[in-house]
């Protein structure tokens, strides 16, 4: 079918997954009928401006999920689809780890001040690499309200958390260096490591996240000198380190002279947790963002830097983008000043609680009963089962993240992340979760022994 051209939606998911979503969407809509021959990988790559490798990955994942079938010497074809809600056109995306897109505009529209009208003439030129001083003070005050004392002079405003992570890694690592991470980690970290030619070393986890013993052993062996960790609502497992565990991780980092990069993007959902940066400010690069609790489009993040590394971070900022957008930080500042930001955050916290409660009810017993408020949940499943559930869910019209996309050391952990923030309404979320639950039950039935 040489005339078919997929329409890729924007988003943070890997391009090959967005291409696969377009294939799945057109199958569900009847644009691609069973037996339809898709363009060759090279032809499609040239037509839509992607690399051949990206198209190959999308086709391969489509075959693994049962959407497509490859025939040697003939090409790739749309596979016969089982009777399902997907075939009837209903598709719900549970792959992107973001708050629902409709939540933010709703709160902003109901706020007394949704967009600043003050003069922005002071924010249209080239300004400080760290960001405007008054905005940094305001952000430091937000941290202080949550119990984290951050020096505004050590705070750098970034273009989102991913930018903060990239700035830090480019400042303290060289190509070929190894970096400790949890066995399953943030996909953006995997993406940057691949780009920067860093090697990630996945460490064992338990119900609280990173295990101290294996971390200490690996650090003592000199495997790496940097740890990237998400101690609060870990991505993708949503695990939370206890206060005791945090102190132990910090103790080991000090003993072994390990630098820490702490990603606290989800900390606003569990402010009772003390950041590692509070316990070891001299060696912790603290990364936070407004993308998860306010507006991803602002592209505003925060990086709190140990004093001795500030010059290196400023140099990295100057060499990459000079500064984060002052206009975006001005808008953010106004939303903080008027209370709009606080209203959005509280709305999202309540929405996260409601959605986790629903997910816990529907996915029990595959989900932990004490799952924290979060916009993603984690199902501990054997590797093969996780892949099968993802494939069966897709056949039923529910898109999930491929399990392998989030794993660094598959021998240490396996499971399936379900992102529950994407659906715009709770009815679509409930429908999608029930499809996942059915996919889980079908797998259990298939695995039962007959005596």
The tens digit of pLDDT for each residue in 3-45 reads 788 988 877 678 888 898 889 888 877 788 888 889 998 889 8
Element (H, E) at 144: helix 133-145
The tens digit of pLDDT for each residue in 330-346 reads 888 888 888 888 888 88
| Cα–Cα distance measured from residue 451 to residue 444, given in angstroms and rounded to the nearest whole number | 16
The tens digit of pLDDT for each residue in 380-407 reads 999 999 988 988 888 888 988 888 889 9
Hey, what CATH topology would domain 120-338 get? 3.40.640
Residue where the block lists tokens 């943070």: 12
| Cα–Cα distance measured from residue 88 to residue 93, given in angstroms and rounded to the nearest whole number | 16
105 pLDDT more than 80:
no
Say if residues 303 and 156 touch (Cβ distance below 8 Å).
Answer: yes
For residue 287, the cross-strand partners are 263, 303
Provide φ and ψ at 147, rounded to 5°: 95, 10
Please report which confidence band the pLDDT of residue 86 belongs to, taking 50, 70 and 90 as the band edges. very low
Residue where the block lists tokens 């949503």: 238
Element (H, E) at 377: strand 376-380
Q: Kindly report, as residue ranges, where domains of CATH 3.40.640.10 are found in the chain.
A: 120-338
The pLDDT value given to residue 409: 95
| Cα–Cα distance measured from residue 192 to residue 181, given in angstroms and rounded to the nearest whole number | 13
For residue 182, the cross-strand partners are 203
Hey, what CATH topology would domain 15-81 get? Arc Repressor Mutant, subunit A (1.10.10)
Closest to 252 in 3D by CA, of 216, 221, 224, 222: 216
To the nearest whole number, what is the mean pLDDT of the chain? 87
Closest to 299 in 3D by CA, of 273, 321, 318, 284: 321
Please report which confidence band the pLDDT of residue 127 belongs to, taking 50, 70 and 90 as the band edges. confident
- The mean per-residue pLDDT over the stretch 217-245 comes to 96
Q: Kindly report, as residue ranges, where domains of CATH 3.90.1150.10 are found in the chain.
A: 93-105+342-447
- The mean per-residue pLDDT over the stretch 287-293 comes to 85
Q: Does domain 93-105+342-447 have CATH number 3.90.1150.10?
A: yes
HSE-up of residue 93 (Cα within 13 Å, Cβ side): 20
103 pLDDT more than 80:
no
Helix (DSSP H) and strand (DSSP E) numbers for the chain: 15, 15
The pLDDT value given to residue 406: 92
Please report which confidence band the pLDDT of residue 114 belongs to, taking 50, 70 and 90 as the band edges. low
| Cα–Cα distance measured from residue 417 to residue 377, given in angstroms and rounded to the nearest whole number | 6
For residue 126, give the 3-state DSSP assignment: coil
Q: Are strands 205-206 and 209-210 parallel, antiparallel or unpaired?
A: antiparallel
Closest to 291 in 3D by CA, of 189, 184, 379, 421: 421
Q: Kindly report, as residue ranges, where domains of CATH 1.10.10.10 are found in the chain.
A: 15-81
Give CA separation, 114 vs 119, 160, 164, 341, in Å: 16, 21, 27, 10
Say if residues 156 and 313 touch (Cβ distance below 8 Å).
Answer: yes
């Amino acid at each position: 079918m040489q005339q078919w051209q997929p329409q890729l939606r924007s988003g943070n998911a890997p391009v090959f997954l967005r291409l696969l979503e377009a294939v799945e969407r057109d199958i569900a809509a009847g644009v691609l009928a069973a037996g339809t021959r898709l363009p060759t990988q090279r032809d499609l790559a040239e037509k839509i401006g992607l690399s051949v490798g990206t198209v190959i990955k999308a086709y391969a994942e489509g075959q693994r999920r049962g959407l497509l079938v490859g025939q040697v010497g003939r090409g790739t074809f749309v596979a016969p689809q089982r009777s399902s809600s997907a075939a009837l056109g209903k598709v719900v995306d549970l792959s992107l780890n973001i708050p629902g897109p409709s939540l933010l505009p709703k709160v902003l529209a109901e706020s007394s001040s949704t967009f600043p009208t003050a003069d922005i003439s002071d924010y249209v030129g080239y300004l400080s690499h760290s960001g405007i001083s008054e905005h940094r003070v305001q952000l430091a005050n937000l941290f202080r309200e949550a119990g984290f004392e951050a020096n505004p002079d050590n705070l750098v405003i970034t273009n989102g958390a991913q930018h903060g992570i990239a700035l830090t890694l480019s400042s303290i690592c060289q190509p070929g260096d190894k970096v400790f991470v949890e066995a399953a980690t943030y996909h953006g970290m995997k993406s940057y490591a691949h780009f920067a030619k860093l090697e990630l070393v996945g460490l064992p986890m338990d119900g609280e996240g990173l295990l101290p013993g294996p971390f200490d052993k690996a650090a003592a062996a000199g495997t790496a000198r940097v740890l990237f960790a998400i101690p609060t609502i870990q991505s993708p497992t949503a695990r939370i380190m206890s206060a005791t565990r945090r102190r132990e991780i910090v103790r080991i980092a000090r003993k072994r002279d390990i630098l820490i990069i702490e990603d606290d993007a989800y900390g606003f959902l569990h402010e009772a947790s003390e950041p590692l940066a509070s316990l070891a400010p001299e060696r912790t690069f603290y990364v936070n963002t407004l993308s998860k609790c306010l507006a991803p489009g602002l592209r505003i993040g925060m990086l709190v830097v140990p004093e001795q590394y500030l010059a290196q971070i400023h140099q990295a900022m100057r060499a990459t983008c000079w500064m984060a957008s002052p206009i975006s930080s001005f808008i953010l500042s106004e939303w903080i000043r008027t209370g709009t930001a606080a209203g959005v955050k509280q709305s999202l916290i309540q929405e996260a609680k409601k959605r986790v409660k629903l997910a816990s009810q529907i996915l029990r017993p595959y989900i932990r009963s004490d799952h924290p408020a979060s916009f993603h949940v984690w199902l501990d499943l054997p590797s093969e089962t996780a892949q099968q559930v993802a494939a069966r869910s897709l056949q039923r019209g529910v898109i999930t993240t491929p399990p392998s996309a989030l794993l660094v050391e598959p021998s240490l952990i396996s499971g399936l992340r379900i992102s529950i923030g994407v659906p715009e309404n709770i009815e679509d979320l409930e429908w999608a979760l029930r499809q996942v639950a059915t996919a889980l039950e079908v797998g259990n039935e298939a695995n039962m022994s007959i005596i």
